Every structure is written in C-alpha cells, then in structure tokens.
Structure 1
C-alpha cells in the first residue's frame, strides 16, 4: 500500500453534514432505499454504486454536486439497506433504478451514472429505456470483447460469496477490503465506507449485502449493447485502473461513437472517487456543463 492520508479534510466533514433526505420505494415486493441531496427543481443525477457496495459510497461526493444539481443515490436490491430478493436479475435491477427515478421525481433530462457493476446496469437501463435519461455516464466500467477466456472468467467464483461473520464491530471494520484491492491513499474515506458497510445480526457483524446476489454473472461484457445505445455516453475512468488498460481503451474507442468523451482521472485506480474525489467531482461538473450547452 502507498502511504495513506489519515486526517479527514474540512470539505469531507462538511459534505457528510450536508442535508439529505432518506426514502424507500417498493419495487415488486422489495423495499429499495434511496437518498437525495439538493433542490428537486435542479437538473438531476442518479448515482448507481458498484457490486457489493451501497449508497453511502456517494455520501461525500453527492454534496459536492448538490448546490447545482439534484442528486439521488440508491441501494440496489440485496445491497446496503435495501431489501433482499429470492432472485436477482438484470431486469430486477433495471426496475429498481426506474422506480427510484420516478419516486425521487427525476425528469427525463436527468443523467444516469454508474460505477463498475453499476455502470453495466446503467448501460442496460439506457438501452431498455432510451427516453428516461438524457445522458449516461459510466465510471470505470469497461466494455470488453467477448472471448472464450472471458466467458470462463464470468463463471468464476465471486469474491462476495460466502459472507463471513465477525464477533464485534472493530474486528469487522479491520477486515474490510476493496474489491478489487488497490492502494488506500485516503484512509478517512476508506474507514467511513468500511463502517457504513456493516450490519449486526444474531450471528455477528457482517457486510450489508446478500451473497446470493452474486451467484450468477448477469451482465456479460457490455460490448453486445454498444450498438443499441442511443443515449449520449461519457466514460470517466481511473488512469491507474486495472480495468482500463490500453487494449480495453482501444476496443472501447473502436465500438463507441467518436463523439464519446473519455476522461481519465490521474493517480486514480478502479475506485476512482475514493482516490481522487475532488478531481472526480471536477470531471463530472465539466461534463454536466458541456451537456447543458448542447
């Protein structure tokens, strides 16, 4: 690991204190939790977290956008504080995002943004509901060509399966890891996310996700949807991300329209807004201004 910054800066503390509203919406019998920041009359942004994550990953990002935008984040089914399902499918996640957008009052000029697995889901939302959002933003969420090797890797065991239980909160926090693992440069962000990723059960402390949600890989490589996408797309990625090597970038430039912005965040890995939160917010703000001018 690289040297971590231990003391939380003032902007982070202020962001966590920013006013917000918590709500739930029922989606086919499952309670889906979501949080909103800012004025609902402003242009909207809906944020979708990655696999095994939750809406609190956005708690220090959303307030930095909330002066100018109405920001919404949700816990996908089986993750965070949302309810659990007997079965998790791409269709169930799509339905949750559409339901939260409606319940939160987001109009069709809103932007849909997803990180990692959340980007893969957001892509499917934009293809299935091309008139629901004005733009799509994929955050370190790559498109890859489908190959035999990747088909096999898609069947590989998920790191989120077989959830463990810990005897106390401190032990559990100490076991928190990013997936995939990467250097921790801002330990105050890492600690905040770790502490908000846990819940207490009769068996002990465990992570806030249903490991049944990861028994199947349902999203493919995303490349099969590229030519079906009609919503304008932008890509923000970590310049050091293991998922955005030169081969992947070359492929994405090949299959996506020439007008697609590709924005690297310097000194950032896959979890780019943990590494460089202020640069990440600056990139989103710049994109939103560009899209507003068109």
Structure 2
C-alpha cells in the first residue's frame, strides 16, 4: 500500500496509526506501521514471500486487538519500503530486524508472529535473542529443511536477462526462497536456543508448506517453555486471511 492508501484505509476506520521508517544503517532501513496501545505488550508481525506489512492490515485495524496490545507490522528487508528489491538471507534479515525490535522495547512482553517465510524469520530472531520474546506464533511456517523440496528452476530466474523480466517483489522472493533450504539447515542446529511459549497454527492441507513441519517443530523446540498446536482442518496456506477469527482468538488468549 502507498502512504496515501494507508492513510485512507485507517482514516475510514477512524484508527490512529504510525507510519514510520527506522534507520538501521546508511544502507538499510525498516518501514513499519504501528497501532494499538504503546504501553501494552507487543504483537510483532512478519509477512511471507512476497509481501509487505499490509498482509496484516486487518489485524492492525482490529479494535479488540488494539485494546489489548501494541501492534507492529513491518516490511521485511527487500520488500515494500524496506530496501525494496534487495534480497537478504535468513541470517542477514534477522540481524537487520533485531536492532529495530530492541528499539521498540517498552518493558512489556513481546510476541513474534510469522506467516510462511515470516515463520523462519521469527524463529531465527528467537534463536538469537531467546529472552526477548515471550511468545512465538508460527502461521504455516516453513521450518523443517527436509520438507523443502528442491526447486531447481529458481536459479534460472536469477540469470540475466530473465531476472529483469520478473516484477521486483517476485525477484526478491525467488532469491530468498532459493536460499531457504540451506538457511534452515543452519538454523536447525540453533533451535534448542528457543525458550519462548510457542503457538503453531497450520492448515492440514497446506499445498505450499507441508503440515509435516508441525511434527518437526514439536520435536525440535526442546527447550520451549510451552508448545501448543492448532491444526486447521482442510485449510490451505493462506490462513491469516481465510481463518482470521481463529488466529485472532488465539492471539487474544496469549500468555502475557
């Protein structure tokens, strides 16, 4: 969404919001939207691939969630207004996002919520700073490296001139998804670091990220404080939008 579209969206609902950019370095910035009560615990949303903050606009504009939480949704590095078009691997994305999260510390519980590619980003962040995150919510997240099927056509899309025939967001997406399997192999050795409460919500008929990821996570998060799984029967990959009420209810009941 353009800034004008964002203004129109929230103005139509009479919702106060912040549309800001946080400077990480001379080369990198994080664009974000914030709503809700700044004194409350935080729900921090990470979108999939491709995507941008507005994947979660319904959550940020929900009055019930706003009363209970501060809500922040970012454009992940390479998307939206966060250095659009420059893809980064899992490690680099986490290293860029973490300083921004720390800058938003209000001494209240912090929850990471990641859908699809946002799931492994959330997990990576939690491996790097385990004590910072009270809750980790993984929505149809791709965490198991063995569940990632080889997509040998992706490198073809990275070659010239084909690369420049692909719309920018999809170029970034293609790059990070090609790197993901190797990134997940590295992250697998770090999953024992996580001590958060973990909520996994996954559609049983997800055609993009296999449901087998759920059993992998249940076994891999050996030091998690608590693990809860909510399977959504017959649901596909796009549960943040198709099953909003289930996810909202789960967020409202998070342990703070």
TM-score using structure 2 length: 0.77
Q: How far does residue 160 in structure 1 lie from its aligned partner after superposition?
A: 8.1
Between Structure 1 and Structure 2, the one with more helix by share is 2
Query: Deviation digits for residues 37-67 of structure 1, max 9, x if unmatched?
Result: 1111011111111121110101112222212
Query: Deviation digits for residues 108-135 of structure 1, max 9, x if unmatched?
Result: 6211111111110111111111122222
The structure 2 residue matched to 1:54, chosen from 31, 35, 52, is 52
| In structure 1, distance between residues paired with 2:236 and 2:20 | 32
In structure 2, list runs of 5 or more residues that go unmatched: 1-8
Change (3 A) 1:274 1:94: same
Change (3 A) 1:121 1:27: same
Q: How far does residue 102 in structure 1 lie from its aligned partner after superposition?
A: 3.3
**Rg larger in structure:** 1
TM-score using structure 1 length: 0.68
The structure 1 residue matched to 2:39, chosen from 38, 41, 54, is 41
Pairing 1:91-240 to 2, within 5 Å after superposition: 91-107=91-107, 109-144=109-144, 146=146, 150=148, 153=150, 157=154, 162=163, 164=165, 206=167, 208=169, 211=172, 213-214=175-176, 216-217=179-180, 219-220=183-184, 222-240=187-205
Partner in structure 1 of residue 245 of structure 2 = 278
Residue pair 1:265, 1:280 contacting (<8 A) in 2 also: no
| In structure 2, distance between residues paired with 1:248 and 1:234 | 13
| In structure 1, distance between residues paired with 2:98 and 2:198 | 18
Runs of 4+ in structure 1 off by over 4 angstroms are: 12-17, 84-87, 158-161, 206-210
Change (3 A) 1:24 1:116: same
The higher-RCO structure (CA 8 Å, 6+ apart) is 1
